[in-house]
Amino acid sequence: FKMDKYSFPFARKEPFVSVLSDFGCAYSCTFCPISTLGFKLRQIPEVIDEIRSAKELGAKELHFRDQTFGINKPRTKEFCEALKPLGLGWSAWTRVDVLNDELLQTMKDAGCHTIIFGVETSNEEILKAYKKNTKQSQIIEAMDLCKKNGIRTVGTFIIGLPGETKETVEATIRFSKGINLDFAVFNIATPRFGTTFRKEAIEKGWIDGSKREIESSQSKPVFTNTGITNEEIFELQRRAIREFYLRPGKILKKITDVRSFDEFVKHARNGWALLFNKAT
């Protein structure tokens, strides 16, 4: 693969490569297809050899695409110790209820600079209904611990899950601005193939099971939420992006956080695409 053709908005350096240190997911969030695949850890020496080979090919940074990096804490500590001598920066996905201060220090020492969390919504009833089962207090604590350890945070949110109302989405937007998040991604709820969510949507007549569309967009919404219209969902998505990123303090922090000219160009390019493709 030509690594210079690939870009990642949260990478500090490029070229970067994506790596899996485990397969599947140990959790059962019903809106996520990965939860149906089972879970298996890879052997640490095998992953390190793969990363070393990527570095020899020119990779300057890693992105761990594991659904929940750090789920096995003793193994994660061993893995980070093996990773540290390679001197690569990296980002990873995990859950707010997996992290603690010791684990974050271990990850930071091994080169971790950014962690991506599936926050989804601030509504704990919806989180429970879709088997995410995290709480606002855990989300807040995880973001604060990351800030303490000098690790950037990304929160991904889902707008329009069944049970949502305009009020619950507005509450989530306020919540996103009130926690220590460096970046936020606001996605539209989509009943993906293989998920319990899709099965529920077909059974309740929210979608036509014979259709193959899997992505929600302004031009082709996948399903109709009974509590909020598609038009309201898309407008709330645009509003969430505007309100999160166009705060003066947030803009200033993005500028002062830039470490290189390449990173500045990337932020400028991503910001332009974000605002004019999504938020106009």
Higher model confidence: residue 192 or residue 85?
Answer: 85
Please name which of 163, 174, 158 lies closest in space to residue 216, comparing C-alpha atoms: 158
Residue 218 reports pLDDT greater than 60: no
From residue 64, give the alpha-carbon distance in Å to each of 34, 70, 107, 222.
Answer: 15, 11, 12, 29
The residues pairing with 91 across neighbouring beta strands, listed in sequence order, are 63, 114
* Residues 6+ positions from 178 with CB-CB distance below 8 Å: none
pLDDT at 215: 65
Residue 216 reports pLDDT greater than 70: no
d(CA 155, CA 180): 10
The pair of three-digit structure tokens given for residue 83, joined into one six-digit string: 């990773």
Q: Tell me the pLDDT band of 279, cut-offs 50, 70 and 90.
A: very low
Characterize the bridge pairing of strands 39-41 and 61-64: unpaired
